[in-house]
Structure 1
Amino acid sequence: MEQFWSEVLNFCKKTTTAIADTLIEEAGNVSPNAKDDGSLVTSADHWADQTIREAIASQFPTHGILTEETTHIFPDQDWCWIVDPIDGTTNFTRGVPIWAISLGLLYRGTPVFGFVYLPPLKQSFYGYWYGDSGLTGPTGAYCNGQPITTSEDTPSKSHLFNLCARSLKVLQKPFPCKIRMIGVASYNLLLVASGAAVGGVEATPKIWDIAAVWVIVQAAGGSFIFLENTAFFPLTIGENYGKKSIPSLVVNQSKFISLFKPLVECVL
């Protein structure tokens, strides 16, 4: 397995960096179109999606693929990649230099490896989380090759908690932390994994928003809570995940779930 995981990590690094320069040139210079759900998509999203799919098919021909811009049906294959070619398309189209490329690798329906690259920031996050899959290999979470862990601090008014644009109801009541809104679902939650924030909530993320970070957050010592379904994984073969929202809360330590969960359940 060690050779396999080395191949997976090197593939993610090579593939995301290969498309990063083109995407950086396009950022702020492409006209978006609105999808049915109101989110934006550009020609750059489609190009990156196709490029990543072709790379996976070449390197891992037996693996399945589910991406934001194409196939939403979970396939009948042990290994499946879930891809978000540009997470934070609104930031991307407006020239805000925070957006990401996200790749999650699932084994029998459950994420076991996650990789998220933010080209404008030159930050690569990745991690391994095997759960009860029976798999073995490297462990931990990393940013640019350096180990990361969640903060051990007790939340306070000097700590950060991240919201998404659809979770502003949280502010109807007093909140114990300072609020930030990043505009990129994966980075919102990765800031908890890296220790920069003590928590974050996403009201309507899709599977491609969370597949990679679900792994990285837990590998870094954090807790990932599904606000509607306590056990969202494993995914179901043949099911369409294109329109399934997965309200999610991430906290730095499990002991603070009881503090934050009642405050964010209003997003449901």
Structure 2
Amino acid sequence: MIYFWHQVYNFCHQITHRIGESLLADFAQLEPTRKADGSLVTKADKWADEELRLGIKQCFPTHGVLTEETEHILPPNEWCWVIDPIDGTTNFTRGIPIWGISIGLLYRGIPVFGFVHFPQVQQTYHGYYYGNTGLTGPKGAFLNNNLISTSDASPTMNHVVTMCNRSLDILKHDFPCKVRITGVTSYDLISVACGATLGAIEASPKIWDVAGAYPILLAAGGNFVHIDPENAFPLTKGVNYGNISFPCLAVAKENLISVFKPLVESIYQPKSLLNLSSV
């Protein structure tokens, strides 16, 4: 199993850095088009998506693939890669340097390994979190191969929580921290993992937005709360995840759930929160 994880890490490192170098040449140079769901896409997204799919097929031929740009139905394979070729396409096209290549590896529908590379800011994160899958292997979360962990701090106005544009109604209530909006779900979740922020609130991310960051966050000691428990892990084979959202709350420590959960409840339908679950 150790050799397998060594293969996985090396593959992710090599392909994301190769693709990232090419994408840097297109940074702020391409005009996006709008997809049916309203999100943006460029020829760079499509190229990177194809390169990732071809690389996985060559190196891991028995594994399935789920991607933002092409493959939305979860295949029956025990192992499945979930890729977002450019998480933060709007930032990428408008010259904002926070955007990345996100890769998550599912085992029986549960993200157990994540690798997210942000070429413009030269940050590369990876992490292993096996939960109750029975898998064994390396442990921990890392930034540029240095071990990271979540913050132990209590909320103050000297600390930061990130959120998406669709969550801004929360600010109609008193909020215990400063707020930042990056426009990149994986970056927001990982900012909790590395201790930069105490929490992240995301109203409508897709599976390719969270699958890479999820194991990194949990491996670093964070908590991931499914706002809609019906859309939680494990994923279901044969389901089309193209239009399914994974609204979530990420926090640095479990005790912060009680701090931020009521604020999240204030902007979401209560019935979707009756059985709020976390891992």
1:126 aligns with: 126
Q: Rate the CA distance shift 1:267–1:40 in 2: closer, same or farther, 3 A.
A: farther
Post-superposition Cα deviations, 1:33-68, rounded to whole Å, max 9, x if no partner, equal 011221100000000000000000000000000000
Q: Partner of 2:275 in structure 1?
A: none
Q: Is the 8 A contact 2:231 2:246 kept in 1?
A: no
**Residue type of the alignment partner of 1:253:** K
Contact 2:231–2:245 (Cα < 8 Å) also in 1: no
Q: Which residue of 2 aligns with 1:206?
A: 206
* Counterpart code for 2:240: N
User: For structure 1, which segment, 17-26 or 80-89, has the greater mean C-alpha deviation from structure 2 after superposition?
Assistant: 17-26
How many matched pairs? Answer: 268
Contact 2:160/2:180 (8 A) holds in 1: yes
CA distance in 1, matches of 2:266, 2:200: 14
**1:167 counterpart SS class:** helix
Q: Tell me if the contact between 1:166 and 1:267 (Cα under 8 Å) persists in the aligned partners.
A: no
Paired residue secondary structure (2:229): coil
Mapping of residues 73-152 of structure 1, within 5 Å = 73-152=73-152
Q: Separation in 2 of the partners of 1:173 and 1:120?
A: 35
Question: TM-score, normalised on structure 1?
Answer: 0.98
Q: Does residue 162 in structure 1 map to residue 162 in structure 2?
A: yes
Alignment of 1:187-198 (within 5 A): 187-198=187-198
Distance 1:254 1:138 in 2: 23
Report what 2:277 is aligned to: none
Shift in Å, 1:158: 0.7
Shift of 1:267: 4.2
Q: What secondary structure does 1:237 align onto?
A: coil
SS at match of 1:54: helix
TM-score normalised over the length of structure 2: 0.94
3-state DSSP of counterpart to 1:111: strand
Q: Distance in 1 between matches of 2:27 and 2:138?
A: 34
Q: 2: CA distance between counterparts of 1:141 and 1:236? A: 26
Please give the root-mean-square deviation of Cα atoms over the aligned residues, in Å: 0.9
Question: For structure 2, which runs of at least 5 residues remain unmatched after alignment?
Answer: 269-279
Alignment-derived partner of residue 8 in structure 1: 8
Aligned twin of 1:185? 185
Q: How far is 1:230 from its partner?
A: 6.8
Alignment correspondent of 2:29:
29
Matches of 1:244 and 1:265, distance apart in 2: 20
Counterpart of 1:222 in structure 2 is 222
SS at 1:75's partner residue? coil
Residue type of the partner of 1:214?
Y
Separation in 2 of the partners of 1:224 and 1:189? Answer: 9
**Which amino acid in structure 1 is aligned with residue 141 of structure 2?**
A
Structure 1 segments (4+ residues) deviating >6 Å: none
Sequence identity of aligned pairs in percent? 53
> Alpha carbons of 1:267 and 1:242: their partners in 2 closer, same or farther (altered >3 Å)?
farther
For 2:33 and 2:57, the matched residues in 1 are separated by 28
- Return closer, same or farther for 1:26/1:194 CA change in 2, 3 Å cut-off: same
Give the aligned residue type for 1:160. V
Question: Secondary structure at the residue paired with 1:30?
Answer: coil
Please tell me the residue identity of whatever aligns with 2:146.
Answer: Q
Relative distance call for 1:131 and 1:92 in structure 2 (3 A) is same
Deviation digits for residues 199-256 of structure 1 (CA, Å, limit 9, x no counterpart): 0111100000001111110000000001111771111000000000111000000011
Pairing 1:259–2:259 present? yes
Determine the C-alpha separation between the residues in 1 that align with 2:21 and 2:242: 28
Find the counterpart in structure 2 of residue 70 from structure 1.
70
Q: Is the 8 A contact 2:68 2:84 kept in 1?
A: yes
> Are 1:203 and 1:267, in contact at CA under 8 Å, matched by a contact in 2?
no
Compute the displacement of 1:22 (Å): 1.3
Q: Give the Cα–Cα distance (whole angstroms) in 2 for the partners of residues 200 and 117 of structure 1.
A: 19
Letter in 1 for 2:162: N
Q: Secondary structure of 1:166's match?
A: helix
Task: Report the alpha carbon displacement of residue 165 of structure 1 after superposing the two structures with TM.
Answer: 1.4
